[in-house]
Structure 1
Amino acid sequence: MTRRLIAYVHVGGKPYGPDDKVPAEVAEQIGDHAWTSDGEDGDEQQAQTGAGDSGGTTTEAPPRSGRGSGVEAWRTFAEQHDVDVAADASREDIIAAAESAGVIEREE
């Protein structure tokens, strides 16, 4: 199966989306949380990541800074964990909502 992006990401100032062919050297810079395999639908992806299971989830939160810490990564994470965020929410707003929902721990 072919891997494809689940959301838009920016690498080196260039956007790449779900329907784009991502060069191998660029793909190496994108975290695993941003990929899915062709043919998976949302329910199958949820089952694989554990999102929505009553026993917890196996997906890890994106980093809070540095590579992979962008708003789209956090938005995807929030969606996987049923955290409601506004369409125009900033990365900080999404992190705060995930903390309030108990999905991630607050940083001290």
Structure 2
Amino acid sequence: MRLLIILLVFSNFFNLDYNIYYSRNKEKSLTNGFFGFEEKSRAKLIYKDGFLNIEGLDGNANVTIYSIIGNKVAFFPNIGLRNFKEPVSLQRETMYIARIEFSNTVFTYKFFTR
């Protein structure tokens, strides 16, 4: 009986889908079902002279900028990402999180302003 309980605890602990110590808010990306690995986005977020540029993504998405403590700083609904360059007032030397929501995929990025 003890062995069964130990096996259940360890199997739940190492199963990342049900582990309470593993953050469920990880980046969701397109998956390749045949090989079973995730494809990461190669997007670049560049903040310079008061403008946020997003390079490497295409299509329409909702873009939300959060402070590192989770306060919403800016929101751009259903905006095209091919030539994304929007004015955003951000503090210097601060880390932010960008959440880019497509219709079926969500990407999150951390970026630092200089």
Name the TM-score class by shorter chain: under 0.3
Using the size of structure 1 for normalisation, the TM-score is: 0.21
Which of the pair has the greater relative contact order for Cα pairs under 8 Å at 6+ separation?
2
Query: Between Structure 1 and Structure 2, which shows a larger proportion of helix residues?
Result: 1
Bigger proportion of residues as strand: 2
